[in-house]
Chains A and B, each alone.
Chain A
Amino acid sequence: NAGVMQNPRHLVRRRGQEARLRCSPMKGHSHVYWYRQLPEEGLKFMVYLQKENIIDESGMPKERFSAEFPKEGPSILRIQQVVRGDSAAYFCASSLRDGYEQYFGPGTRLTVT
């Protein structure tokens, strides 16, 4: 089992462009979580998804950010019209079931120039 995969590992975008971050959960896991880590801070919860459903998006900024986890394929975190403040490390985690241990991916480091 390769573990949680995230790509790309590094992403550079100019202000105003779109960023798409992908997360493939561990085999057999149907629960996905996205976290953001700003410099010098801990990871902050963004969104929790199950296949085709957003369960909790209480940590998502109201505008420009969206997430999906389709029936087939990876989970996508999409950031439209990126700004410098979006520069951060974005981590994805997956779990087998509700409330079970979360396994983390290596993260995607987004830099907005």
Chain B
Amino acid sequence: AQRVTQPEKLLSVFKGAPVELKCNYSYSGSPELFWYVQYSRQRLQLLLRHISRESIKGFTADLNKGETSFHLKKPFAQEEDSAMYYCALSVLYGNKLVFGAGTILRVKS
């Protein structure tokens, strides 16, 4: 069965500190992974996907198939990064997303 695990409900860091949001997945096929973000009072939006290998708003995520992980990282957190972050796994050629429970990131000044 497909599953995405985000072990932290809440991650609180100071502005300028490094951030790592953890995500582990379970999937027997070839995984496609995403990070979605939901800022306060806004809708869920795609932050990045592993196949694009981009850095968006300073965030990066590397797929580690050996550890079945897709952790989201940023070297220096900004206050505007405070949001809910969801890791998601795509199955059935992208037509079904399996989401983790989400991690609230709070960046304190």
A interface residues with partner B (beta carbon < 8 Å): 3-4, 31, 33, 35, 40-45, 48, 55-56, 58-59, 91, 95, 98-107
Contacts and interface: CB of A to CB of B under 8 A. Distances in A.
Contact of A99 (B44, B45, B94, B102): B94
B95 A98 contact: yes
A91 B99 CA distance: 13
Nearest to B94: A99
B31 to A, nearest CB: 14
B109 to A, nearest CB: 28
Given A56-B92, A98-B94, A106 B99 contact: no
A102 to B, nearest CB: 7
A104 B45 contact: yes
A103 B33 CA distance: 16
Which one of B6, B44, B49, B100 has the greatest number of beta carbons of chain A within 10 Å? B44
A91 to B, nearest CB: 7
A100 B94 contact: yes
A15 B13 CA distance: 43
B95 A42 contact: no
Contacts of A58: 96
Contact of A43 (B6, B49, B99): B99
Contact of B95 (A4, A35, A43, A48): A48
